[in-house]
Structure 1
């Protein structure tokens, strides 16, 4: 180590990145002297942890702050929040350049300028906590109206005429009567549901919703567990291509599922029943539970993509790419959260295009700043990362859905 102040160098070297600034700032807070029966085992000016003589607010030997913590409880709560979110000023010195100067804090951090910024992993946790709290706990923004749309008599009459024509066409095409009856039954149930007035008594609405759920569960069971039903019922529930009618014109393709082992299909049907009975609440709860984990595993995958695109350049380590990944994902979380809030006052399509444009511009500038690429190679890398990461994210969402279904 070099420098004219070896004690300061020892403090910096012996403290975790970013924690020194918190400790010094905490020690500078004005505290009232309070009597406590718990006295320090060492005299003033000596570290109570390792008995080293202090030369500043932080012990240069063990890194402990020279603080007795004998102060009002709200001061301790402030320290806890500061430890979680870096509220002692570093968070506000980090977010503006993170959002507006792509790659600046990443390059600074990797170059050794670290104490003034929130640590990358803590920054990612702060951004992800705010994002998932906003999206899940607060149920997003602009959930829409809960009042159902009701068809007028002319629309109902037109749909009924179309249903009659469809039944005649199915008969002319040679579709079996049982299957035609199942299709007509589901279509009529959709029309009846659309005709229900919004001010029905809760008991009637509950009965109608339960009837619809029972119909959906029956069709799933008939298609996935044909061993438990007569052949004609199975044929009525699923055609040759395997789609299951789940009401309101919606179908679910079961291609391949009917080839799974019987016990697996029984477990899948049981979990599907629980999801349908809860109105999707159990599925949503499990997706909320596992979504942060899924995104956490995307961090090293993105870092691997960056490493693969720079394998020929010396001087870059996986740690460097991981810091880039942490900063980029923290930026994305902050961006999506902010645009979701802005979607209340601006059209949704503007928010979407702004998010896509800003994130791709950010990634372009990040390559220019951190990796010193040219304009064309930066654009090329942005395009490749967009495509590959979208594919990985799609597989991640599919895995999240499967895990959520099996855990429901």
Structure 2
């Protein structure tokens, strides 16, 4: 219930009906003052979702610790007691992937700070002008861009300094030449200079690897823009995580369809399986969110043997619990024989593992090909 001030006028602003108490009996709108302080925009959202009467927290508690209870109660028609399945899934999915995105951004920021600290070496710029191997490595603009991205932009500054004779600037722009010498682009590792090289090799090999041509073309495109291998990897991971919520949402109907196949069509409708699916995936996402939070907290104790042991124990326990959760929720919802629950659950687990693996592969392919 919100804490808005009740209106003295008992006429509903939404439909015009008389409101005897707090809510309109005709449309359900709360009869409170329509003008509020600015902060009400945010507090109202939180109140509307969590319902300080305990609906939200009761839903979270039952979702985590009482497998199948939410589904069973919802299918019995008691639907005002807990958060609706679709609303629950969308909210948990949003919070989980938002937190993961922040985690990735935080890791990238920390990585950047470490790298800029590690590449500083005294008088290394002099080697840039003297080292013939470096000169060969950066013979064209593409290689300069790749090497420059590996050194945080310091390479270009150092080369400009050697050309202008600016010794003061040279000393302030350290470049890790050894890092440049050891690093290679993906296409250099494959000994390819262009797609024409790949096509010539394919003709000799009978087009054995033609399937990989779109991926290689994408790599050439990204390297031409100056992206190093590590940057391409990071871009791929971010793109995949960005697309994962969409992929999961598309997979929900398929998961429910598999449940529909293995259960009585007379007793259980597809709608019923959809409710079970939404609750189970909400649980999985909530568990992932809690794991990320816990591992984040334990990361502040890196180097501690106890923290590492706790992290391993928590992750292992979560995986085991997630597997057991499905069997318990399935048994409580569908009331099948325990042996049948185990058999059906095992079959569904194998099928869903295979299908979800294909989904992740497809997600990875799409995410990579649309990198820019």
Please tell me whether Structure 1 or Structure 2 has the larger radius of gyration of its CA atoms.
1
2:188 aligns to what? 218
Change (3 A) 1:240 1:228: closer
Of 74-83 and 99-108, deviating more is 74-83
Q: 1:259 to 1:334 in 2, by over 3 A?
A: closer
**Counterpart-to-counterpart distance in 2, 1:315 and 1:229:** 58
When normalised by structure 1's length, the TM-score is 0.63
* Equivalent-residue separation in structure 2 for 1:222 and 1:79 (angstroms): 59
The Cα shift of 1:293 comes to: 0.7
More helix by share: 2
- Conserved? CA contact 1:134–1:140, under 8 Å: no
TM-score under structure 2 normalisation? 0.69
Aligned to 2:254: 301
Displacement of 1:78 after TM fit? 0.7
Q: CA deviation at 1:348?
A: 3.8
Contact in 2 for aligned 1:134/1:337 (Cα 8 Å): yes
Shift in CA distance, 378/403, structure 1 to aligned 2, threshold 3 Å: same
Shift of 1:327: 0.5
Q: In structure 2, how many angstroms separate the alpha carbons of the residues matched to 1:86 and 1:32?
A: 18
Cα deviation 1:10-38 (Å, max 9, x = unaligned):
xxxxxxxxxxxxxxx12xx26398xxxxx
Equivalent-residue separation in structure 1 for 2:355 and 2:288 (angstroms): 19
Runs of at least 5 residues in structure 2 that lack an aligned partner in the other structure = 119-171, 299-306
1:214 Cα offset (Å) = 4.3
Is 1:368 the equivalent of 2:368?
no
1:55 to 7, 13, 20: 20
CA distance in 2, matches of 1:298, 1:82: 31
Counterpart check, 1:65 vs 2:30: yes
Q: Is 2:50–2:57's contact at 8 Å kept on the other side of the alignment?
A: no
Does the residue aligned with 1:117 lie in a helix, a strand or coil?
A: coil
CA displacement 1:38-67 (0-9 Å, x = unmatched): xxxxx8211122221223322232332212
Partner residue, 2:286: 334
For the 8 Å contact 2:222–2:232, the answer to whether it is kept is no
- In the alignment, is the contact (CA less than 8 A) between 1:121 and 1:326 conserved in 2? yes
Aligned ranges 1:136-285 → 2 under 5 Å: 136-139=101-104, 203-205=174-176, 209=179, 214-220=184-190, 222=192, 225=195, 227-228=196-197, 257-259=209-211, 266-267=217-218, 269-271=220-222, 274=227, 276=229, 278-285=231-238
CA RMSD in angstroms, aligned pairs only = 3.6
- Aligned-pair distance for 1:215? 3.7
- The equivalent of 1:128 in structure 2 is 93
Which structure has the higher relative contact order (CA within 8 Å, separation 6+)?
A: 2
